[in-house]
Every structure is written in structure tokens, then in C-alpha cells.
Structure 1
Amino acid sequence: MNGFKRIVGAALAALLSLCATAALADTVVLTGYPGIFQENYTKAVVEPFRKANPDIQVEFHASPNSAQMLGTLRAQAGAPQIDIVIMDVSVAKAATAEGLLAPIDETVTRHLGDLYPQARVEGVNAVGVTFDNLVLLHNTDKVRPAPTSWNALWDARYARQVSIPAVPDIQGIALTIIADKMAGGTSQGNRMKASGLLG
């Protein structure tokens, strides 16, 4: 939990400083994930920022996934309307390559130095504020015994009852790498490592 607080604290400091350097803008537009992510991020980061900076409004625009966020950034390339975007690192890498994300100004806040080294990926104009975990969830009333392997996703008993995240969602990419390795391949993992998106 301390690691999470450290990362969120640095994210809050970065948000504070980024806004301060944006010529004290009246409104900061933040795009991120909906649902529980929006609820938790608003409580942990946005609300403390609003209290500390009552003259600056923060608009949180929820977007279903990083691919859609990238599409929005592309559409606004000529007239950007988003100040801060929270997206998957794989998609942020594409956004960086397309010139849609400005480089991080390391002088903006000393708190960027508080982030774990894994929060930075070469070739990405951004820093991480969360770490994701890929997990297998199951309905304990309907799935017995509990799955002990990813192979359960291909069990005929559960045909048409399995939901998985799709690429380019970071969890979809991770699951693709797992499935590739289970099938005896190594190409996906090697490509991801070469691109810096897999440790």
C-alpha cells in the first residue's frame, strides 16, 4: 500500500505542477478510465488538487479504453482539448511516436523522482501512475473446482461463458503473451521486450 501511496502522491504532485505551469489555466481537462478507476482517482488525486487549487477547475472525461483515448488525441491533434491523459503504456508509446504527447518536463516537480523506475518506459513521453495485474476471476457458484491454470479459458465446459480483454488493452496484450507462451511460442514476448513494454 505504501508503494501505491508513493505513486499516487507523485502523480498528484505532477498534476499540481503541470497545472501550475500551464499559465495557471482556469480549467484542466483530464481523460481517464471510467467506473471504479474514476471514482478512486477522483478521491485520491483530483479532489485534493481541487482543495489546494480552488481557482482551477478539473474536468474528468471518462473514456472506455486507451484505444478510444488515442483516437480522441488523434482527432484533436490540430486543436488539443485534453491536458492530461491516463492510458495504457502500449498505447502511450504509439501516441508518443505520433507526436501526440509532449515530453515530460523533469523540472516541473521534484516528485517525479519518487516514482519507481518501472514507471518509466523508454520511448514514452509519460510516467506511470499505476501498475496493473492480470488475474483470472471466476464465479464460485458455477466454476468448480477453482481454476488453477489459464487453460481453464479453453475448457469446453465454459464455451461462450468466458470474457477476456482484447488488444490493444494492456491486459489483452498480456494475455496474448501468456497464450503465445502456452502454445510454445516466444515471438510476442520477444517483440514486447524489444519495444520496452515488457520488463
Structure 2
Amino acid sequence: MTSKLASTFLGLSALSLMAGTALAQDRTLTINSFGGAYEEAHRKCIITPFEQENGATVQIVTAYSADAFAQLRAQKDAPQFDVIHFSGGQEIVGAAEGLLSPIDEAKLSNAADLYPFAKANLAGGEGPAYSIAAIGLIYNSETAPKAPSSWADLKDPAFADHLVLTDISNGYGMLGFLMLNQVSGGDLDNIQPGLDAVTELLGNGAIVVSTSPEIQQEFAQNDAWVAPYASDYAFTLRKAGLPAKFVQGSEGTPASYITTNLVSGRPNQDLALKFIDKTISPEAQACFAEALRYSPTNAKAELSAEVAADVAYGEDGVKGLLRFDPKVIEANRAKWVEAWNKTIAR
């Protein structure tokens, strides 16, 4: 082979290699997931089917919402995530800061079937909510003297020293407290009615725990009857052999939105949009509900009666969902936690 031919051959080989590398990059996405059972369901319901359908590879970084958002901010000039998932409202801040790309609803084949609240600000960069952690009342269906039906029932003397509250350093605990505050006459500008209600409940024998495993311990060992918490945890308790059921409080159901978001400044947004579209499909959402008891946001998701009983399901189920403004919560979190700690220490 002449030197000229050799140079041409090597040049073509290099171009071919570069093209192959670019093609491989075009079929690879980097996302975050939340670890544990959630990540297992994420793989089963969305990631593996997406890879198989699109000849793609999905790289997972295990990172909860706050950590993932911190990484996204730190990587602002050279982001590593293509799609990022949040459960604490970080998409609102991320969109405002230009870290997330606006989404054209027309590019998502499943968007038309989402409930309006789940796609309220796609054009502003806030990705769609694909699952909801519904906060309501978990109760022991065998030992509780009656089934609770409202948030006001937390104050019912019948439950007294069999009531378990969760510390507001826990995200679900915060939402449960804000609902107790609301039915006690407070709002996001005034949490004192909720703190006064907590003082009364503790005086009647209620206890405060910090984590979900402690809730399970109270139900298993200390005859807990009622705990305001997320719908998926009633399922967790039943899997542990405990007779736990979930009910939405009649005054409303605080919702933790789990969103899937398109990151700005990445080269393969078309593939990322396909992943987001897969995530909001009725099949994927039904799978998540079956695996973890998260509420679907796609109106076409079909659930069995058993699964539907554990979640906010259908038009009637989701109309009671409410969302406390994540921006207000974040701005006041430290002050509220301090006031809470003083209240429960008395």
C-alpha cells in the first residue's frame, strides 16, 4: 500500500470510528433514579423496555432529588444528565434557572392523555409528572376502632395514643403536617394552627417518628392505628404482613409530584424526549402503580381493583389532589423545622 493510499485509508478509518462513536453517543442517555425498590421498578417499567425498543443504552446515576439538583446546578455549563427526575418540586427552580428545556407537547405522543395538572408548564421547562405519591391516612384495618376518613379525624380522641406523626424533616411528614395545619385553620403564611394541633395531639399520647421504617415498627410492635403518610407505604406494610389500608382524607390529598425533565444543553434531546414519552405512557405508569403503588397521571392507565384501592386513581381520585407550593416550602423549610422542633420538645 502506498503512503498516499495508507493515509487515505487511515483517514477514512478515523472518520468511520468517529462516526461510530457519535452514533453510539446518540443512542445513550444518562438519567438519575432513586435507588432501591424504586430503581428496580424504574428498570422494569421504563428503562429496559425503552432500551429494547430504541436500541439505546440508559446509564443510571443513583441520586435523590436534592442531590441530583445540586449536581445539575454544578454542571450548568457542561451537564451530564439528559433526563433528570425530581420528587420535591426542583423542576420549578430548575426551569426558572434555565437548567431545563421547554418541552413541546406535540412531541410527546402520550401527553394528550395526561391529567392537566401533570403537564401544566411543559412550555416553561417543567417536565411532566409521571407518578404521584399521594399523602393520606394509613390505618390498621384490624385493630383501629374505626376507619378514618378525614384529616380532621387525626384529632379524634378515639385514636389518641395510637397515632403516629412523622417529623417534617421528612418530605412526606412535611406534607402531612401542612394538611393538618390547613384543616386547623392555617395556611402557608401561618403554620401556628398546625403547631398548636401537634401540641394537642402529643398531649393526648401521639408520638413522632423520623423515618418510614419507624412507622412500620410502631404498627408491628406498638399497636399504632393511624399514621398520615404516603399511599405506597400502606403497600409496604402489607407486604410485611401488617393489615394496613390507605384512605384519602376528604378535605384533600397532598401530592408529591414525581417529574421527568429534559436537561438543557445536551445534544441528544430527541432521544431524551422519547424516554420521557415512554415514562408517561399508560403501560409504564400502570407498571409503577403495580410495583410501588404510586398514582398514575395518565388517564388511560388501567389498574386492577386491588391496586386502585391503594392510590389516587381516575378522574374522581385525582380531583382531590392538591400541591403545596414547593417554592414556598423550600423558602420556609429551615424556619418551619425550627418551630416544629421547639413544639415537639415541649
Q: How many equivalent pairs are there?
A: 166
1:39 maps to which residue?
40
1:100 maps to which residue?
99
Distance in 2, matches of 1:35 and 1:151, equals 35
Distance 1:162 1:193, change over 3 A: closer
Check conservation: 1:101, 1:125, Cα contact below 8 A.
yes
Structure 1 residue 175: Cα displacement: 2.0
CA deviation map 1:34-58 (0-9, x unaligned): 222211121111111111123x210
- Structure 1 residues 82-97: aligned runs within 5 Å: 82-88=81-87, 90-97=89-96
* TM, length-normalised to structure 1: 0.65
Check conservation: 1:92, 1:125, Cα contact below 8 A.
yes
* TM, length-normalised to structure 2: 0.40
- The DSSP-based 3-state class of the residue aligned with 1:59 is strand
Matched, 1:184 2:185: yes
Amino acid at match of 2:178: I
Distance 1:188 1:29, change over 3 A: farther
1:59 maps to which residue?
59
Distance in 2, matches of 1:121 and 1:172, equals 26
Structure 1 residue 31: Cα displacement: 0.9
1:11 maps to which residue?
none
Distance 1:104 1:23, change over 3 A: farther
Amino acid at match of 1:30: I
2:175 maps to which residue?
174
1:28 maps to which residue?
29
Check conservation: 2:88, 2:326, Cα contact below 8 A.
no
Seq. identity, %? 25
Distance in 2, matches of 1:27 and 1:89, equals 26
1:81 maps to which residue?
80
Check conservation: 1:180, 1:188, Cα contact below 8 A.
no
Distance 1:35 1:104, change over 3 A: same
Over aligned residue pairs, what C-alpha RMSD do you find? Answer: 3.6
Amino acid at match of 2:37: I
Check conservation: 1:32, 1:61, Cα contact below 8 A.
yes
Distance in 1, matches of 2:173 and 2:125, equals 20
2:222 maps to which residue?
none
Distance in 2, matches of 1:151 and 1:85, equals 39
Distance 1:91 1:145, change over 3 A: farther
Distance 1:33 1:147, change over 3 A: farther
Check conservation: 2:31, 2:59, Cα contact below 8 A.
yes
Structure 1 residue 177: Cα displacement: 2.0
Structure 1: gaps of 5 or more residues: 1-21
Q: Give the structure with higher Rg (CA).
A: 2
Structure 2: gaps of 5 or more residues: 1-22, 191-322, 330-346
1:71 maps to which residue?
70
2:204 maps to which residue?
none
Amino acid at match of 1:45: I
Distance 1:58 1:184, change over 3 A: same
Structure 1 residue 188: Cα displacement: 5.2
2:119 maps to which residue?
120
Check conservation: 1:177, 1:188, Cα contact below 8 A.
no
Distance in 1, matches of 2:135 and 2:118, equals 17
Check conservation: 2:29, 2:58, Cα contact below 8 A.
yes
- Structure 1 residues 86-165: aligned runs within 5 Å: 86-88=85-87, 90-122=89-121, 123-137=124-138, 148=148, 149-151=153-155, 157=161, 163-164=166-167
Check conservation: 1:165, 1:172, Cα contact below 8 A.
yes
The structure with the largest strand share of the pair is 2
Check conservation: 2:33, 2:42, Cα contact below 8 A.
no
Check conservation: 1:46, 1:58, Cα contact below 8 A.
yes
Distance in 2, matches of 1:150 and 1:72, equals 39
